[in-house]
Structure 1
Amino acid sequence: MNLDRRQRRNTNGRPSQATFWVRRVVALLILAILVALVVFVVRFAWAWMQAADDTQQRAQAEQTTKELVTQPTTCDMNNIAYKLQPEKAENQVGSPVNFKIVLRNTKGDQPCTMNGASDKVGVKIVTGQDTVWQSWKCQGSAQEQPLLLGTAVEYNSTLTWDGKVRNGCDKGDLAQAGTYQAIPVLNDKEITEAKAVFTLK
């Protein structure tokens, strides 16, 4: 009778020692999992924010570098290649002679600006020791012509000589048959190494 009462008390009363420890272990495991989950979420969020911040900083640095690299400067005339080519190697006496002008920035990784007005970019024509024509002379005030020369960018233009000899600012007689040299002139500097030869017949 007493044994039955003790068994009923054990059944209806507090849980057994084994059950108590099992529950405690389960609770601790759940708590550990929750803590680990919180730590993982916090670390993930921190890493994501750090990565986003690094990406933004890199983008800003690249943009700044790009702006520094591509910001145009004033052209150094030593870095400007001037190519001059007569439209025809042989021309008729009394006919206009056209010259193709090409300006190129030899430092193409750094865009630059220059004045391409007719009093800055010109052609001088000579035969023997005689100067026949200078394109920038007697034109009055030339309007400024800003040019932007960048990577793989060339400026193309055409100058035309009317085929007459200039004596000062007065038009003279027609230039005679013979061999002539066209010398590029950039900012009053003759570029003799880029001169071109043509003839009048």
Structure 2
Amino acid sequence: MLLVIVVLVGGAIWLVTTVFGKVTEHQESRAQTPQPLYEPVECTAAMLESSLGLKGGVVGAPTVFTLTLRNTSMDNPCFIDVGRAHVNVKITSGSADIAETAGCADVPESKILLLDRGMSATTEITWPGRVSPGTCASTGSFAQAGGYRAEASAQDGKLLLGDITFEMKPVGSRSQQLGAAPRVPGEKVASGEEAGGESSTGEGTTGGAAGGEGATEGEAPAGEDAAGNGTAGDGTAGEGAAGEGAAGEGAANPENSVGAGTENGAEEAGNG
């Protein structure tokens, strides 16, 4: 009987010890094993899509480059420093170096972006618009009208984040807003490939269309130009759809407007 009790007690002690040991081992294993998912990590080229755009592009005024980064990873959020100590936008014109934003005092030295899985964020990098090869100056000569290229990079120029070709417009021109298609950092593209999406030519066409609408509705005072604006407005009202076409042409080419207005005015004088 005593032997049976001893065996039972010994078995119970062994069972408790074994179970407790397994639980402790499992807890220690969980504590030592890192949880890789959903913890922020430093962004890598494989995780990012990026694009470079701009706002401005007019001689005599600053140009703001917009760098958009997207975390394509579905496993981890990631962070990246886009301050001037880490990301640089280099501006060139042909073979001439114009400026580099890594030297711009207005750009923060450090700026951390935290991108959740599938999330995008945009940061702005301002170039004063002045010529200062290899650095960034707030004084000196402004870059002149013409063609330019901007390239954003990290890791001392080893990681290309985006580039865009653009045209600096003359003083007094309308501000531009250009964007580029996103791509994987480091992927090279032909120069100028990304700049055609939202050109200033399209904005000019829109402005011309707006001018045509103004002439159609007769918003311009008739007394300003009796041969052109006022008479063209009368012709538009009389001719319906055809008159709208004449007014639109008149906005783009004053000679057409004068011709159309004179002809319609002559008809009205004859009818009278």
Rate the CA distance shift 1:141–1:128 in 2: closer, same or farther, 3 A. Answer: closer
Query: Which whole-Å CA distance do the structure 2 matches of 1:191 and 1:72 have between them?
Result: 21
Structure 1 counterpart of 2:77: 111
Q: Partner residue of 2:37?
A: 69
2:48 equivalent to 1:80: yes
TM-score under structure 2 normalisation? 0.43
Counterparts of 2:155 and 2:161, CA distance in 1: 16
Select the structure with the greater relative contact order (CA < 8 A; seq sep ≥ 6): 1
Instruction: Give the aligned partner of residue 161 of structure 1.
Output: 127
Instruction: State the TM-score, normalizing by the size of structure 1.
Output: 0.57
Name the residue aligned to 2:254. none
Amino acid of the structure 1 residue aligned with 2:142: L
Cα distance in 2 for residues equivalent to 1:190 and 1:178 = 28
Paired with 2:76 and 2:52, the residues of 1 have a C-alpha distance of 23
Q: Secondary structure at the match of 1:174?
A: coil
Aligned AA (2:38): T
Q: Which piece of structure 1 moves more, 109-118 or 157-166?
A: 109-118
- Structure 2 gap segments, 5+ residues each: 1-29, 170-272
Q: CA deviation at 1:80?
A: 2.4
Consecutive unaligned residues of structure 1, counting only runs of 5 or more, are: 1-60, 62-66
RMSD: 2.9
| Structure with greater proportional strand content | 1
Q: Confirm whether residue 189 of structure 1 aligns to residue 157 of structure 2.
A: yes
1:143 Cα offset (Å): 4.1
CA deviation profile, 1:81-124 (whole Å, cap 9, x unmatched): 22110125xx3211211211111222243212222222212311
Label 1:159 to 1:176 Cα distance change in 2 as closer, same or farther (>3 A): same
Cα deviation per residue 1:149-171 (whole Å; 9 max; x = unaligned)? 22121221111211110145554
- Consecutive aligned runs of 4 or more in structure 1 exceeding 6 Å deviation: none
Aligned residues: 135
In structure 2, the residue corresponding to 1:93 is in which secondary structure? coil
User: Which structure's CA Rg is the greater one?
Assistant: 1
